[in-house]
Structure 1
Amino acid sequence: MASSINHHVMERAEFDRPVKILIVTSPYYKDIADEQVVGAKAEIEAAGGTWDVAEVPGALEIPTAIGIAERMSNFDGYVALGCVIRGETTHYDTVCNDSSRAITLLGLQGLCIGNGILTVENYEQARVRAEVAEQNKGGGAAAAALHLVALARKWGGPRKGVGFKPASDEIQIAGAAKGPNLA
């Protein structure tokens, strides 16, 4: 069982200015989602951050909600929470693969997302992974988002020596003295 394996846990990310995180959750399995949200909120608060929660119908809608929030609000990062339990059809594979792929694509565009969408075989696996006293995957997803925000802030300064620099005022004035460029 995975719970008996020791995993390395990074130290909590630290910030010099406040962090605002959006938790997007699908309460399809409400008790599982609620427990994940408890863990995520606690982790964000422990890092000195603030959070807001948005609910969507299912795991496939989570990446869309994150994409909308990124375009229309001012969050530093996102936590994706939900649960997909294998059923009798291939719908499980579609939901797991497509939600994960969409979150990955958003991340590759620069969004700081912790993916806590559980993909499990049965309810008991989901319960163990969601419970704060057990594996606390909601808290882990929040920690991942916070670490990505910390990296984005670390690397987000102006680039040196890359790309084009605008012409300085001195060059523009000197060029204007020669007359208009009719090229």
Structure 2
Amino acid sequence: MATQLKNLCEYSSGNIPDISDKKFAVVVSEWNEDVTEALYEGAISTLLKHGAKKENIFRKDVPGSFELSLGAQWTAEIEEIDAVICLGCVIQGETKHFDFICDAVAHGITNVSLKYNKPVIFGVLTPNTQQQALDRAGGKHGNKGDEAAITAIKMLGF
């Protein structure tokens, strides 16, 4: 697995644009809250570390990962928002529900990005177990929230 070879908090520090005047929406799923809160903390930390102003970061919560797409659309519609970061966690279960949710969220977030021509970042964990989620939300594999934030930042410099 690729994540076993890389810490999600490690990234190239090249091509980091000035984001001091950029506005970010962070849409966070309430489902698997212990994981998504850790992802949020990672994302905020990375945004602030690279020059985002706290007053230019807006948080919106949605009930679950399935709702991230609509939450992303509602925030992307706001002209002043430069990038949207979607954070969620869908853990594999015993039914096909996992497959349907993950597919819908991935397509939905991509469609919002293309519709509004701005970065809408997929910061959604899709692990097999709770422990794998925790390992990627500030655990031994770093924090996918960091990765999502740096992706948003770099896309703004494209």
TM-score (normalizing by structure 2)? 0.87
- Count, aligned residues: 151
Q: Bigger CA drift: 4-13 or 72-81?
A: 4-13
Instruction: Tell me: CA distance 1:133–1:10, structure 2 relative to 1, closer, same or farther (3 Å).
Output: same
Q: Bigger CA drift: 100-109 or 138-147?
A: 100-109
Q: Tell me if structure 2 keeps the 8 A contact 1:113–1:148.
A: no
Offset, 1:18: 1.3
Does 1 or 2 have the higher relative contact order (CA < 8 Å, sep 6+)?
A: 2
Q: SS state of the match for residue 75, structure 1?
A: coil
AA of the residue aligned to 1:96: C
AA of the residue aligned to 1:28: W
Unmatched runs of 5 consecutive residues or more in structure 1:
152-183
Runs of 4 or more above 3 Å deviation: 1-4
TM-score (normalizing by structure 1)? 0.75
2:122 to 88, 112, 115: 115
Match of 1:9 in 2: 11
Q: SS state of the match for residue 121, structure 2?
A: strand
The whole-number CA distance in structure 1 between the counterparts of 2:123 and 2:70 is 15
The whole-number CA distance in structure 2 between the counterparts of 1:52 and 1:30 is 18
CA deviation digits over 1:115-158, x for unaligned, max 9? 1100110001100011166421001001111111121xxxxxxx
Q: Tell me if structure 1 keeps the 8 A contact 2:36–2:87.
A: yes
The whole-number CA distance in structure 1 between the counterparts of 2:19 and 2:85 is 21
The whole-number CA distance in structure 2 between the counterparts of 1:67 and 1:33 is 19
Q: Bigger CA drift: 108-117 or 54-63?
A: 108-117
The whole-number CA distance in structure 2 between the counterparts of 1:52 and 1:78 is 9
1:148 to 130, 146, 155: 155
Instruction: Tell me: CA distance 1:18–1:132, structure 2 relative to 1, closer, same or farther (3 Å).
Output: farther
Match of 1:48 in 2: 51
Offset, 1:3: 4.5
AA of the residue aligned to 2:68: I
Structure whose CA Rg is larger = 1
Unmatched runs of 5 consecutive residues or more in structure 2:
none
AA of the residue aligned to 2:31: Y
The root-mean-square deviation of aligned C-alpha atoms, in Å, is 1.9
The whole-number CA distance in structure 2 between the counterparts of 1:138 and 1:92 is 21
The whole-number CA distance in structure 2 between the counterparts of 1:3 and 1:37 is 19
CA deviation digits over 1:16-47, x for unaligned, max 9? 65111111010211110110001000111011
Instruction: Tell me: CA distance 1:6–1:106, structure 2 relative to 1, closer, same or farther (3 Å).
Output: same
The whole-number CA distance in structure 2 between the counterparts of 1:4 and 1:92 is 22
Equivalences for residues 1-183 of structure 1 within 5 A? 2-6=2-6, 9-11=11-13, 13-15=16-18, 17-50=20-53, 51-72=57-78, 74-109=80-115, 110-131=117-138, 134-151=141-158
